[in-house]
Each structure stands twice: as structure tokens, then as C-alpha cells.
Structure 1
Amino acid sequence: MHNPRSAAFPAAYALLRIAADAADHWVQTDRQARCKAKPGLEGHRALAGHVASYAVTQGLALVAGNRLLGLGLRRRSMATALALSGATHYVIDRRWPLRKAADAAGKGPFYRMGGPLGGSYLMDQSAHHVMEGIAAYVATR
């Protein structure tokens, strides 16, 4: 017997991932990208603006996809998923937590390889993908 909820997870993940890519590379302002990892208030303000637009972008995609694809996602589950995705995005984009995690895992040399669009960028994106996968699972519960 086919369970229509079984299609909800991959669809939710695809919607969150597509929206995240758009939010990170099209919606985020140049100032937010340059300043979000800076120490102090300047960094936190830039990052807060980025994460807000990121969450809105993901929210629009998830709500539209839920309606258009008939996924049957509940509002509370979607809101919880978006909160999880936004909160973890904030931590990851501060950069130092991911750098410390890479060092602790023995991946520091890879993290530092190739400058800002090398290993650090790839590990950043990988961490976002993992958290979006968890968020998609939460959205389908």
C-alpha cells in the first residue's frame, strides 16, 4: 500500500535545499555575506538579516510546495523545521563553530584548503545540507 506521506520527506528536503541555495547565493546581500562572521554587533546584525531572509525564503518554498504538491505538512511541523534550519544556519554561518568542529574531527587542513570558497565553503554547505535533511524530517512529522 502506498503511503502518500512517504513522498513528503524527499519533497520537503528538495524544497528546503533549493530555497537555501537561492537564499545563500541570490537573496543574501553582499554586506551580509562580507560581515556575518565578524565579531561583535556588526557581525550579529548582518547574520540576523541573512538568516531572516533565509528563513522567509525557505518558508515560502515549503508552504508553496506543501500546497502545490499536496504534501499534507502541518503548520507547526513546518514552523519547527524552519526554526531548526534558521537556528543552525546562524551557528554554522558564524564560521568559528564549524572551524572548531573541523579541527576537532581532524579536518582542519581540508577546512583551510583553497581559501574562502574551498574547503571551508564545502564544509559549510555540507553542514547546511545535513541540518536541512533533519529539518525536512521534522517538517514531515
Structure 2
Amino acid sequence: MFADIAFLLYLGHLIADYPLQTDHQAEHKTLPSAAGWRANLGHAATHVAVYGLLLALGAAVLGWRLPLLPALAALLWIGATHAFIDRRWPVAAWMRLARQESWATSGGAVHVDQTAHIAALVVAALCLSA
């Protein structure tokens, strides 16, 4: 069950982060303003909605019995971690701490960002499949 859940969550991540993220969200989600937070939380809400739909689909098609409260907790975890990571300063702070400033300025931040998102999804998948 873990592999099925993890795969659907990863697919949901790709769907919500690329085809469903608006230009406005991508450009404004890191701004330290109300508009930045609205863009950020709107993008995170898209993730939660997509993951919720895919988990419901997985339950219907694959016969999963996901308890409601753990499933809601997993969706909250995913939304909160996604919003936090997408503020970009956590990734920048990690890359400074790991002495990756050169890599950060040459495109590495995107890879660290995506790795952090997938790590959060794996935690959710582990909790849901336990």
C-alpha cells in the first residue's frame, strides 16, 4: 500500500506544482506580504485538493481503508510543509548551512526544493500506510 500511496502523492505533487500552478502564484508566493501569502496558500490549497482527490480515487479503485482523521492529518501536513518550503527561505537557509551557495546560484535550489517536497510526501505516505 505504501508504494501505491507514495506514487499517487508524487503524481499529485507534479500535477499541482506544474500544470495547476498559476504564473501569479509562482511569481508571488515568496513575497513577504499579504499578496505573497495569498499566492502561497492558494498554491498549497491546490496541492491539498489534488492529493485529496487522488487519495479518494485510490481508496475507491484499490480498496484502501484510509481512516478519515489520519488522512486529513496527512493532507494538512502536506499543505503546511508545501507552503513552508515554497517560501524559499528554508531552502536557502539549508543550502547555506550545507555550504551549497555556489550550487544554489547555479540552479541547485530547485532540486533541493523538490527533494524537500518529496520527503514530506514520503512521510505522509508512511503514516497513511502504517
TM range, normalised to the smaller chain? Answer: over 0.9
Q: Indicate which of 116, 122, 126 corresponds to 1:133.
A: 122
State whether structure 2 residue 9 is matched by structure 1 residue 31: no
Q: Indicate which of 18, 23, 42 corresponds to 2:35.
A: 42
Q: Within 5 Å, which residues of 2 pair with 1:1-141?
A: 8-113=1-106, 118-141=107-130
Q: Report how many residues are paired.
A: 130
Q: 2:86 & 2:52 partners in 1: Cα distance?
A: 19
Name the % identity.
35
Q: 2:119 & 2:21 partners in 1: Cα distance?
A: 21
Q: Partner residue of 1:4?
A: none
- Mean Cα deviation higher: 66-75 or 121-130: 66-75
Instruction: Describe the superposition over 1:26-68 as per-residue Cα deviations: whole angstroms up to 9, x where unpaired.
Output: 1111100110011111110100111111110111011111221
- Mean Cα deviation higher: 99-108 or 12-21: 99-108
Report if the CA contact (8 A) 1:9-1:136 is conserved.
yes
Q: Which runs of 5+ in 1 are unaligned?
A: 1-7
Q: Which runs of 5+ in 2 are unaligned?
A: none
Deviation, 1:16, is 0.6
Which letter does structure 1 place at the counterpart of 2:40?
L
- For normalisation by structure 2, the TM-score amounts to 0.94
Taking only aligned residues, the RMSD between alpha carbons, in angstroms, comes to 1.1
The runs of at least 4 aligned residues of structure 1 exceeding 4 Å deviation read none
Deviation, 1:138, is 1.6
Secondary structure of 1:38 counterpart:
coil
Deviation, 1:10, is 0.9
